[in-house]
Structures are given as C-alpha cells and as structure tokens.
Structure 1
Amino acid sequence: MNTENTGREAAAQSAETRTDLARRAGAFVRSTDFIDRLSRRVARRTESQAPGGGPAAMAYLSEEIVPELAELGFSSTIHDNPESDEHPLLIATRVEDERLPTVLLYGHADVQFAHDSQWAEGLDPWVLTRDGDRLYGRGTADNKGQHSVNTAALRTVLAGLGGTGSVAEATLGYNVTVLLETAEEAGSMGLRSFAAAHAADLSAELFLASDGPRIAAEVPTLFLGSRGALNFRLIAHERDGDHHSGNWGGRLRNPATVIAAAINALVDGHGVIRIPALRPDAPPASVIDAVAKLPDIVEEGAPETDPSWGEPGLSPAERVFAFNVLEVLALDAGDPAQVVNAIPGTASASMQLRYVVGTDVSDFENRVRIFLEEQGIHGVAVEFEHCMPATRLDPGARVVTAAAESIRKTTGLEAAVEPNLGGTIPNDVFAEVLGLPTVWVPHSYPGCNQHAPDEHALVSILEQGAEIMTGMFWDMHMRPDDWFSSK
C-alpha cells in the first residue's frame, strides 16, 4: 500500500469537499430561504437604547435563535442581564466531548435607533428591501446579517460532515459555544459582569465573531481587538451667570478662554497629543508590520485624509491602528444661537481619548489635572465619564496565520489584518475577562451606513462571508492545532 499516494488522495478529497461546502454556503445566502430569515429578523424592533424593548429582545432570542441552534445540536439558555431587565443574553452550547477544545462565537441581536423618518423614499428600516447588491434594513449590517451568515456557515459544515445523518449529530471535532447579547448598541451593559459570573459556561480556547466593517468592500479583513475609548469632560466654572464683556472684560477670568487653553495644553492645533500620560508605548514590531501591509484604499464618498494632521512621522494607517488620538467632541460656552456681549460663567469641553494597548489610563482624572496645573492652567475640573479598554491579539499569533491562510484558500485573496479596530467594541470582555485570543471576521464595509439611515448589507459580502466562515469551520475540523494552540 502506497501511504504517500493515499495521503495525497485524502488531502485532495478534503480540498474538494471544502470548496464544495463553501460554495453551498454562498449559494444559501443568495437563496430565498436566507432572505426570508433575514427579513423576519430585521422586522423585529430590537432597539436596545429605547425603553420597553425587553419583549422584542426576548422574542428574537427565543423565536429566532434558539430554534435554529437546536436544529444544529445546541442546548440554549436565556439569562437575565445583571444590569438591566430589558436586555437578556443567550448562551448556547454544542458539546461533543468536554476534553475537546471550544470555539466561542458571539453576536448581538439589538440595533441602533431606526430613525424611521430619515430613510430614503421607499425604504423602511423594519422591512428588508433589496436593490441590486444592497439589502436595506436596520440590522442587515449590524449585526443580524453578520451572525445569521455565521450560523448558516456552521450548518453547512455540519451537514457536510454528517452525510446522510442528522446535522445535530455530526462531529466537528471541537465544541462550540454561542453568546448573543441584546445590549451592544447600549454600551453592552451587563456583558462584562455577566461574562465574569458565567466564565465556566463561556470557557473556550478561541473567540471568533463577526461585527463591524472590512477595511474596504473588496478586501476580506481580520481584526484582532479594538482601540479603547475614554470619554471625559473639562469644566471651568467661575461664577453663576454671565457678565457684560464691556463692564467686566479684563477684570474677570473667562472660563471659555481657560477651557481653550486647557485643550491646547493636552492636544495642539495639529492634533498632536502633548500630555505624555496619554501617549502610548511604542507598538510591537508585529503590529507595525501588520499595519504597513494594510491596503491604502479610499472608499467613494469618504472624506479626504488630512496628511498634516496627527502624530508626525506616522502614516494615516498607523495613526488609526497603532497610535492614540485625543478628540474634542463638543464645546459649551454661552449661547452660540443667540450670542450676547457677555463673559460666560461656565464653559466645558467633551473630550475623547481613543487609545491602543500600551496606554496607562489609571488614575486618569488626577494625572490630567496635575498636568494642566503644571502648565499654569488652574481651576479646570476633569470629570471621567466612561471607558472601554483597549485590546489587541498579537498579529503574529498562530491562529491569526491560520485564519489569514484560510481566507486565502477560500477566496484567493490576501486578508487585511488589522491589529485592532480604530473604533471600539467590547472585545475586552473576551480578551481580559475570559482570557481568549480574539479573531473578528467582519462581513460589512465602511459605506454600509451602520448606525445611520439607509443601513444596508451587500449580498456579495454576505455571500463571501459565508464561504469564508465555512472554510474556517472546516479548517478547525481538519487542523485544530492551528486554531486552538495557545501560542
């Protein structure tokens, strides 16, 4: 017996099966069955920031997700949210053997406010509408379309492995846990404490999920974490009420001027961060290498990049993916709509630090206040509002290589690997609380109008996303060490 030939034949057969399953998954996304499924899900008004949304959130989990996962062999439990009675969470488990590794999948069933009246004529946020490659509807891109694609891909692989038998009884060679929340658009309230309390139920070797956009529509993308977001206010309160600028100008401190000086002390007129405490450590070489390989693509309708803005010596991509930015989000002094000749009694600025791993944000208020006083700026209160931590998996991790190679095998394209999103998602829950390597495979694109009127997904990306995820689930079955290794 020629074992070498037998091995080659088995590898060839596996490759053919993998290709066939990926095509099947893509074809399903184009089918009426998938469109009908997504139509039902879009129609469920799961606005998590609106009061009274608990019944819709519960119905989405119990009527859409639980039955679908039961057919795939999952046992599901819907849990109360520890911080809200309107935002339940679902944990579903498919355990083949407790000794096998586990992949944790994640998605969110909630959506942003629909802004019904602002949608284009003929479009309804709660009615799935197809126009060429576009599928319009709230949640098509964020996140109902994306997590629906992933479960469809998993079903396809199970069906391929199950042969003529039951999909639920097919053997993957690894366990799968699904976590679905209903408060992501409301800041993922309760998710961190829930994960901590249910760490044993969510124990895994790998986190894999889909949310957010690709770097560009035509470029399959991986991202491995997200920048942190720390929001705070600078407040200068000098006195109650305003005072005539002619009678009192030159005799009274102007809090608006003080706030302007405080902002300039923290970040200069070119967007360069001046306070050392808010600048990051130098990023690892693997991060710089990954960012350098990102394609330089400008989407149609996107604003033109300002080349002289931000940290000198960095490329625009490095400024977004490997460095910090300090932004002024809003200013408040006087009444801009009805300006009067008066010195305001109070002024404030709403600020945000987007930051990468390697930035120490501990004791934030005190450190900023001391820095301002050292610059001779007194009487400015620093009020911390909220913070989501920065996270990042090393781009050189074995699982990242496996995921990128899987995408190449499926699509023939090189994946863009972002060390972290420029934006912020609750990745800290999975990376820090659960201690997992985190890999995100987005199935949307920058122009999808996520969070805005006319939100839409592209059928072409959802189709390719289903093929990509099918390839990944298959590759985990064939080469689990590449995916579940701790290296």
Structure 2
Amino acid sequence: MKIPIQRQVQFFFGSRHENSNNKTVLTYGHGDVIRGQEERWEPDLVPWELKVQNNKIYGRGTADNKGQHTVNIGALKSILETRGCLGFNSKILIETGEESGSPGLADFARQQKELLASDVLISSDGPRLQPERPTLFMGSRGSIVFDIEVNLRNGAHHSGNWGGLIANPALILSNALSVIADKRGQIQIPEWRPKTLTNSVRMALADCEVDGGEEGPRVEQDWGEKNLTPAERVFGWNSFEILAFTAGIPERPVNAIPGTAKARCQLRFVVGTEVDDILPALVRHLEKEGFSNVTVTPADRGVMQATRLDPDSPWVKWAANSIKETTKKKPAILPNLGGGLPNDVFSEILGLPTLWVPHSYASCSQHAPNEHMLPEIAREGLEIMAGLFWDIGLEDFEIATYQ
C-alpha cells in the first residue's frame, strides 16, 4: 500500500496477518537518502551504483537506510521459507522523508493508529557501538537546529578605514558562542545540562566502549563533559555543536569588516531536557552574558524529540538474550542512540516499546562521500534479525518470562 500524506512524501505499508493471538511486530525503514555528492566520491565509485570493493558495499543508502531495512526484510523472508509461517503478525512501514525530519510521519501515525497497532517495534538504523559488537538501542537523542546571528549593518566596510571604530559582528558572535560551551565543549547553560543520567543508564553504559573502527576518528579524552565516560557523554548527555559559521565571503576574503555573521548550531539532547525551553534558555543566557544584540532563530527543520526505553524493560532483556544466543556475543545495550530518529512517533504516539538493532558502524561515511556497508556486519545482522523473528514466533513465547 502506498499512502501519500504530504506533497513529495509517501509512506509504503505492507502487512501479513497470521493469527490474532500472535504478537504483532512493526518494522520501520526509510527509503530516502541525502544528496549524492557525486563529485567527491572516489574516482571509481558512483553513489547510485552498488559496488563491492575492498570488502565494502559502496552506494548511497547502503548504510542509511536501505541496506539496513533490506537486511530485516531478508530475515523475514528466511523465516517464511524455513518455518512456512512467521509465527507472528508482521507490519512494515517505509517512509521517504526521514532525512528531512520525517514530515507527515507523526500525522500519519495519528491517523492510522489502528493500521499500525502492534506489540513492539523492531527496526534497524544507525551504527553499532563497535564494528564487531552487536548493539541494541531503545531510543535516540533529540535534536534541534537553530541559527545564532549578529546583524549590525548593511554591507561591509574597509578594515583599514574602519577597523577599531565599528563593531565586528564575527567577533561578537565568536564571543557569544564561547559562553554557550567552554574550551572543551562543556555546556554552560544550566537548563541544557541533563538530570536524567540514572543508575540504570550508567549501568547499561558501563561496559560500552565507543569505537569508530580503524578508519574512524579517535575519542578525544580531553573533550566533552569532564566527569563522564565517553559512552555517557554521547548516550547520556547533551552536546552543543556549531555546524557552520559564515562572515564576509569565506571563499574570497577581502579587507573589509562584514556587516553580519551567522552560525548554524545544533543541540543534541537526551530525555528530560525541556524541549520548549531550549531556545528561550539560550536567549536568557546570552542576554545575561551581555549579548543582547544576538538573535536566535529556529531552523526550518523542526525538532526531533528525545526518547528512551528503560534498559530494565523485559523487551530489552529478551532481545539481548536472543542476540547473545545467535552470535555468542554479549550485545552492547544503549538506552538511546547518540543521533536522531523519529522514534517518538512509535514510542509516544503509538505507545510501543522500541528496539533498534543497527547493521552499520560509525565509519560508514553516511551523509558523506563513499558511503558503504560492511558485508560481515550485514551477514551477522541477517543472522541476528532471523534469530529475533524466529524467537518471537515460537508458540511458547511470553514476554512476561523476562520480567
């Protein structure tokens, strides 16, 4: 079934109903990707053609997200071919706007609650904590993107004639940004500092080591919140980032004081952060620090909400046990992903426990040139998902067993 909700955004839905007494599993994926950036890929690679090279499967969408939900659909197919039935009811939802903030997805879920009604969401997106370690996460950090701007005058003025006489908006903006986070990136706005790093979250993260693989960047121990582990910083805390900064003409600088300066910024935030107070708190903080001539404007991408399922949930215990049985490895359990997902649609609107099993890794180059998937992770992911789907389809399956 193809269901249009908004212009240029469509939802694809399919279902298999076997027995009303069975559990119902909803699986989600997104078929849209970011732009190809063709000119920046390696010379022998094209973003729109799959190519296996150097033990990597290259192509735009291999990691984010077509490759991942293809693995899950393949696992469903393998269960049908082996068992002759699933043993549970299956619903699959594929959207086409996730990279643009999932416009229409929440409205679709509200309108189609009965159609999407399920017992649990089991899906795949994002990276594993480490390439070789199966990972299970139950939500995602939220995200809000906004602009901070200093607009003093129209046009630029010669720096020799006016330097020292008129204010430089880039200098003002640089200083304003420095009071949001200190020199090691620690957030300075009290309302932006979480109070939800609970013992259960800390315990789940205690054996989690952040590792982007051989080609990924190294974790910098002197960056971020000082008294937290790297895993706590990215999965249990908020982070402020400057995504872009413009003043003057960066590609062709001239000897002139610019009239304006602008920074595109982002806050990644965990459950417990007051979403409606994020930007007002920023404005109050800047005014308190003496930056009343700085304006804050939300970007047009909206807000992605933060979500988290308690690591002590019986669904988490069941899934972790199934993954361990399949792989003989103890999975990393993350209360939430560091990045963003429209998980609130499933956890808040549909009221589902949400389980995410990623089939990628941190150095997959998603949103960048040379995006790829590792065959060994895809293969193990197929085994993991087949194991989860097999187990939930057993006649004696009872989630209460894992209380």
TM-score of the superposed pair, with normalisation by structure 1: 0.77
Q: Which residue of 2 aligns with 1:57?
A: none
Matched, 1:127 2:41: no
Q: What is the DSSP-based 3-state SS (H/G/I as helix, E as strand, rest coil) of the residue aligned with 1:200?
A: helix
Runs of 4+ in structure 1 over 4 Å off:
none
Cα pair 1:476 1:483 within 8 Å, conserved: no
Matched, 1:282 2:196: yes
Deviation digits for residues 213-236 of structure 1, max 9, x if unmatched? 212221111111111111111111
Matched, 1:399 2:315: yes
Change in 2 beyond 3 A, CA 1:171/1:316: closer
Which residue identity is paired with 1:369? Answer: V
Change in 2 beyond 3 A, CA 1:346/1:451: closer
Cα pair 1:216 1:445 within 8 Å, conserved: yes
Cα pair 2:189 2:281 within 8 Å, conserved: no
Q: Which residue of 2 aligns with 1:44?
A: none
Q: What is the DSSP-based 3-state SS (H/G/I as helix, E as strand, rest coil) of the residue aligned with 1:179?
A: strand
Q: What is the DSSP-based 3-state SS (H/G/I as helix, E as strand, rest coil) of the residue aligned with 1:281?
A: coil
Cα pair 1:283 1:358 within 8 Å, conserved: no
1:28-67 to structure 2, matched below 5 A, reads none
Cα pair 1:357 1:391 within 8 Å, conserved: yes
1:319-334 to structure 2, matched below 5 A, reads 319-334=233-248
Q: Which residue of 2 aligns with 1:54?
A: none
Q: What's the CA shift for 1:435?
A: 1.6
Q: What's the CA shift for 1:315?
A: 1.4
Correspondent of 1:455 among 371, 388, 399:
371
Deviation digits for residues 405-424 of structure 1, max 9, x if unmatched? 10110010010111111111
Q: Which residue of 2 aligns with 1:96?
A: 18
Correspondent of 2:77 among 155, 158, 161:
155
Cα pair 1:399 1:483 within 8 Å, conserved: no
Matched, 1:304 2:218: yes
Cα pair 1:206 1:484 within 8 Å, conserved: no
Write the distance in 2 (CA, Å) between the matches of 1:245 and 1:118: 36
Matched, 1:78 2:2: yes
Higher RCO structure (Cα 8 Å, ≥6 apart): 2
Which residue identity is paired with 1:107? Answer: G
Q: What is the DSSP-based 3-state SS (H/G/I as helix, E as strand, rest coil) of the residue aligned with 2:125?
A: coil
Matched, 1:433 2:349: yes
Which residue identity is paired with 1:379? Answer: N
Write the distance in 2 (CA, Å) between the matches of 1:97 and 1:119: 48
Q: What is the DSSP-based 3-state SS (H/G/I as helix, E as strand, rest coil) of the residue aligned with 2:297?
A: strand
TM-score of the superposed pair, with normalisation by structure 2: 0.92
Correspondent of 2:167 among 224, 234, 253:
253
Q: What is the DSSP-based 3-state SS (H/G/I as helix, E as strand, rest coil) of the residue aligned with 1:306?
A: coil
Write the distance in 2 (CA, Å) between the matches of 1:448 and 1:78: 30
Deviation digits for residues 267-295 of structure 1, max 9, x if unmatched? 11221111111111131211111111113
Q: What's the CA shift for 1:119?
A: 3.0
Q: Which residue of 2 aligns with 1:49?
A: none
Q: Which residue of 2 aligns with 1:482?
A: 399
Change in 2 beyond 3 A, CA 1:127/1:371: closer
Cα pair 2:10 2:95 within 8 Å, conserved: yes
Deviation digits for residues 168-210 of structure 1, max 9, x if unmatched? xx361x3211101122223322212111211111111101101
Change in 2 beyond 3 A, CA 1:346/1:83: same
Aligned residues: 400
Q: Which residue of 2 aligns with 1:190?
A: 104
Write the distance in 2 (CA, Å) between the matches of 1:217 and 1:198: 37
Change in 2 beyond 3 A, CA 1:379/1:202: same
Q: What's the CA shift for 1:250?
A: 4.2
Correspondent of 1:204 among 84, 95, 118:
118
Which residue identity is paired with 1:481? Answer: E
Write the distance in 1 (CA, Å) between the matches of 2:261 and 2:39: 34
Deviation digits for residues 340-361 of structure 1, max 9, x if unmatched? 4433222221111111111112
In structure 1, stretches of 5+ residues that fail to align are 1-76, 163-169
In structure 2, stretches of 5+ residues that fail to align are none
Deviation digits for residues 121-141 of structure 1, max 9, x if unmatched? 433333332236322223222
Q: What is the DSSP-based 3-state SS (H/G/I as helix, E as strand, rest coil) of the residue aligned with 1:289?
A: helix
Write the distance in 2 (CA, Å) between the matches of 1:136 and 1:340: 41
Cα pair 2:86 2:390 within 8 Å, conserved: no
Change in 2 beyond 3 A, CA 1:361/1:402: same
Q: Which residue of 2 aligns with 1:270?
A: 184
Q: What is the DSSP-based 3-state SS (H/G/I as helix, E as strand, rest coil) of the residue aligned with 2:20?
A: coil
Q: Which residue of 1 aligns with 2:208?
A: 294
Q: Which residue of 2 aligns with 1:470?
A: 386
Which residue identity is paired with 2:200? Answer: S
Q: What's the CA shift for 1:246?
A: 4.5
Which residue identity is paired with 1:302? Answer: G
Q: What's the CA shift for 1:248?
A: 3.8
Change in 2 beyond 3 A, CA 1:483/1:446: farther
Deviation digits for residues 361-401 of structure 1, max 9, x if unmatched? 21433332122111222111110113211111111111111
Q: What is the DSSP-based 3-state SS (H/G/I as helix, E as strand, rest coil) of the residue aligned with 2:205?
A: helix
Write the distance in 2 (CA, Å) between the matches of 1:461 and 1:319: 25
Matched, 1:378 2:286: no
Write the distance in 1 (CA, Å) between the matches of 2:30 and 2:287: 44
Deviation digits for residues 41-69 of structure 1, max 9, x if unmatched? xxxxxxxxxxxxxxxxxxxxxxxxxxxxx
Q: What's the CA shift for 1:472?
A: 0.6
Cα pair 1:103 1:175 within 8 Å, conserved: yes
Of 98-107 and 410-419, the range deviating more from structure 2: 98-107
Q: Which residue of 1 aligns with 2:339?
A: 423
Q: What is the DSSP-based 3-state SS (H/G/I as helix, E as strand, rest coil) of the residue aligned with 1:97?
A: coil
Q: What's the CA shift for 1:296?
A: 4.7
Write the distance in 2 (CA, Å) between the matches of 1:123 and 1:217: 23
Change in 2 beyond 3 A, CA 1:266/1:452: closer
Q: What's the CA shift for 1:298?
A: 4.9
More helix by share: 1
Correspondent of 1:239 among 135, 153, 165:
153
Change in 2 beyond 3 A, CA 1:282/1:144: closer
